[in-house]
Structure 1
Amino acid sequence: MDKKRIIIINGPNLNLLGKREPEIYGADSFEEFLKKLQIKNPELHIDYYQSNIEGKLVSKIQQADSDFDGILLNAAAYTHTSVAIHDAIGAITTPVVEIHISNIYKREEFRHKSIISSKCVGMISGLGLKGYQLGLNYFKN
């Protein structure tokens, strides 16, 4: 049986995990965390992509539609501003789970609105990096 192919797509500033506001985001880099996810989920093929550039995220979402069975998307700040990412999710058939490391509802008011949520199958927010594992669990069924 083929492994389900899942891609994790992270948006702007998530390349700074481990350095940026560790009290909110933790001390591990995402690459370190990704290795742990891959070991813990051997029944899945997990790829990873990160960009600070909105258009590259849109292109990766479009490409993922033909290459992957599921997407975990942490659009970061673009969650609250990007109609382009919203439209890209709406244009594909691959299910997308929206992920946020921090609880967006406990932060600044402008972060309380997610433009992309209406196109995602669900959202996980505020559980730290554990949210990625919960998202992977969704695709295991």
Structure 2
Amino acid sequence: MARVFVLNGVNLGALGTRRPEVYGTLTLGDIERRLRERFPKVGFEFRQTDYEGEMVGFVHEARESDGIVINPGAWTHYSYALHDALEAVEGVPKVEVHLSNVHAREPWRRHSVISPAVEAVVAGMGPYGYEVAVGYVLGRSEARRGDPPEVNP
């Protein structure tokens, strides 16, 4: 069974109530349920924290996983510690996710120090972006192992 870490950073525990016009009305729990339903054969590790050091620890814990999907929140723009942690987890497919289209928002949101440490970025697709990201990391991981896909069509 594939094991994927879905990591959510600062303020993402407030999804569903924090600026729903930007981030939508689904909670993090709703997104987790959708991922479990879409990918029933995946063992997910869902984590959320508002503490940067704890997030760095989660990234290191994911070193032996099949993939990392990370929404760093505001850390996207300034956390070199998180960048370095992701960069250090070599051989594990990693995708940065953002619910909103960060490139259509304030200029300071358009720059990511995280992007150079991941393989792909998904932005502006709302909660569906998490599904795209999980599908990508599973495909990359399966290709490395030569396994058939474990995705529920």
Q: Which residue of 2 aligns with 1:138?
A: 136
Could you tell me how far 1:53 is from its partner in structure 2? 0.6
Greater shift in the superposed pair: 36-45 or 97-106: 36-45
Q: Does 1:90 align with 2:64?
A: no
Alignment of 1:1-141 (within 5 A): 3-66=1-64, 68-93=65-90, 94-141=92-139
Q: Distance in 2 between matches of 1:23 and 1:117?
A: 25
| Contact 2:66 2:138 (8 Å CA) reproduced | no
Which whole-Å CA distance do the structure 2 matches of 1:119 and 1:139 have between them?
A: 14
SS at match of 1:132: helix
Distance 1:120 1:42 in 2: 25
Shift of 1:124: 0.2
SS in 2 for 1:6: strand
Alpha-carbon distance between aligned partners in 1 of 2:22 and 2:42, rounded to the nearest angstrom: 28
Amino acid at match of 2:32: L
Matched AA of 2:84:
D
Structure 1: which 5+ runs fail to align?
A: none
Q: CA-to-partner distance for each residue in 1:62-81, whole Å, 9 max, x for gaps?
A: 11102x11000000100001
- Superposed displacement of residue 140, structure 1: 2.9
Residue identity (%)? 36
- The 8 Å contact of residues 67 and 138 in structure 2, kept in 1 or not, is answered as no
**Partner Cα distance (1:89, 1:32) in 2:** 26
Per the alignment, in what secondary structure is the counterpart of residue 102 of structure 1?
Answer: coil
**How many residues are treated as equivalent by the alignment?**
138
